[in-house]
Structures are given as structure tokens and as C-alpha cells.
Amino acid sequence: MEYLGFLPLLLLVALLALQLGLAAYAASQAGTAARAAARTAASADHHGDPRSTARSAVSQWLVDDPADFGYQESGGDDVTATVRIRVPSVVPGLDGWWAERSTTMAVEPAWP
């Protein structure tokens, strides 16, 4: 009977561990998307749109709502792609976390 008192605490710890795992996964996906977008934007032949490349590099369930995904690109000789992904929440009250990663790559020279 006394173990039932610890059950809510154990459930909360399990939910917090799951939330931490989701945050790490979102950060990893943001880094992958930023690298893919920067690679596309920096390529000499520039096949494809960097934003759509970044979005397609992220798991679909993570960014099924367009408001959960943000992309920004800047640069001149170097291209910097920044991707923001909203971290899904399983713990009530922990909404509004974002994972943001940036990648910078040198622009390839154009072929003559």
C-alpha cells in the first residue's frame, strides 16, 4: 500500500524522461535539417529549394503542423541555414519549447 504513494512520482519522472528524449530528438532533427538545407543552398548547381529540403529531412510526425517548423537562411560567401522545430510536449505545462540548430557552409564556385 505504501508503494502506491510513490506511483505518481514515478510516473512524473517517467514523463520527464520521455520529454527530455523528445527534446533531444527534436534537436537532432533540427541539426539534420539545417545541414541538408545548407548543403542544398551552397551547392553550385542549386538543385531544389533549401526550405523544402530542410522540411523533408525532418520526421513528418514532428512537423505535421506548419507552425511547428521555422527556416531562415542568410549569407554571402557562406550560407547559414537555421532550422527551428517545436518540441512536442507530453508533460502538461511544458509547451513552447523550441529546438534550434544552425549550419554554415561555403558556397561552391560556379562551374565555367
Q: What percent of the chain has pLDDT over 90?
A: 62
Cα of first residue to Cα of last residue in the chain, in angstroms, is 79
Q: What pLDDT score was predicted for residue 45?
A: 77
pTM of the predicted model, to two decimals? 0.85
pLDDT digits (tens, 9 = 90+) for 28-82: 999 999 999 999 999 877 788 999 999 999 999 988 888 899 999 998 889 999 9
Higher pLDDT, 10 or 47: 10
Q: What is the Cα gyration radius of the chain?
A: 19
Q: What pLDDT score was predicted for residue 101?
A: 97
H-type helices in 1-112, by residue range?
7-42, 50-56
